[in-house]
Amino acid sequence: MQGHQHPGEGEEKEELGPENAFEKSPFQLTAEDVYDISYVVGREILKISSEPQGEVPTRVAQLQFKIVRILEMLEALVNESNLTVEELKMERDNLKKEVEGLRKEGPPGNAEQLSLGPDKMIIDLTDPNRPRFTLQELRDVLQERNRLKAQLLITQEELQCYKSGISQREDQAGPMEKESTVCRPSGSSKSNEEKTIIKRLFSFKYGKRI
């Protein structure tokens, strides 16, 4: 109350008196206006109790108008606020439904929305036949396979060589030594590195000849 100036105390011209709060639309009321209304009502009540009895009926009538106006404003505000609450409740329920719907459709919808680049593919990790080795790994396996295949062929040739050697030896005991040396490529140091188990077996069996 203290902060409020009385109309007669020379306030600025633009500022209307506290009575003006009663004229405003209830939806434009501010806290200041409520204080003004409170001030005006208080002043009226004070007048009733302090002034001569003859004045009372007039004063009460004036106060009654003000109280009716206050109740009207209160009614308008309550109606308005109830309406707003209803609207907000409806909005909330709608949003809840929307969220639930999105959650249900969520996972599959998401997978399809995954935007893949032009050169990408999706791999099904549960597919036992899914691709899972790299080209380099395949390359290594193929090289190893072909290396072993080459070694097998070499070994088969060697075996053939020694088989012939044996039959040769059985046929003619004499030139055996010569034959077995010719059997090896002349001047090849590399072939020495290639002593297979078979070769070692034969060298053991036939001594220094091989």
Partner 1 sequence: MAKKTYDLLFKLLLIGDSGVGKTCVLFRFSDDAFNTTFISTIGIDFKIKTVELQGKKIKLQIWDTAGQERFHTITTSYYRGAMGIMLVYDITNGKSFENISKWLRNIDEHANEDVERMLLGNKCDMEEKRVVLKAKGEQIAREHGIRFFETSAKANINIEKAFLTLAEDILRKTPVKEPNSENVDISSGGGVTGWKNKCC
Work out whether 135 is an interface residue with partner 1 (CB under 8 A).
Answer: yes
DSSP letter string, the chain = -TTPPPGGG---SSSPPGGGGGGS-GGG--HHHHHHHHHHHHHHHHHHHHS-GGGHHHHHHHHHHHHHHHHHHHHHHHHHHHHHHHHHHHHHHHHHHHHHHHHHHHHHHHHHH----TT-----TT-TT---S-HHHHHHHHHHHHHHHHHHHHHHHHHHHHHHHHHHHHH-STTHHHHHHHHSPTT-SHHHHT--HHHHHHHHHHGGG-
Stretch that binds partner 1, among 9-17, 73-81, 92-100, 133-141 (CB under 8 A): 133-141
Q: Name the segment binding partner 1 (CB under 8 A); options: 30-38, 67-75, 112-120, 140-148.
A: 140-148
Interface with partner 1, residue 20, by CB under 8 A:
no
**188 near partner 1, rule: CB under 8 A:** yes
166 touching partner 1, by CB under 8 A: no
Structure tokens at 112: 């399809």
Rule CB under 8 A: say whether 191 interacts with partner 1.
yes
Decide if residue 203 touches partner 1 (CB under 8 A): no
Other residues' Cβ atoms within 10 Å of the Cβ of residue 174:
9
Q: Of the listed pieces 17-25, 81-89, 93-101, 177-185, which binds partner 1 according to CB under 8 A? A: 177-185
> Does residue 164 bind partner 1 (CB under 8 A)?
yes
Q: Determine the interface stretch with partner 1 among 14-22, 67-75, 121-129, 158-166 (rule: CB under 8 A).
A: 158-166
Count of residues touching partner 1 (by CB under 8 A): 28
Establish if 80 lies at the interface with partner 1 (CB under 8 A).
no
Residues that bind partner 1 (CB under 8 A): 135, 138-139, 142-143, 146-147, 149-151, 153-154, 157-158, 160-161, 164, 168, 179, 182-185, 187-188, 190-191, 194
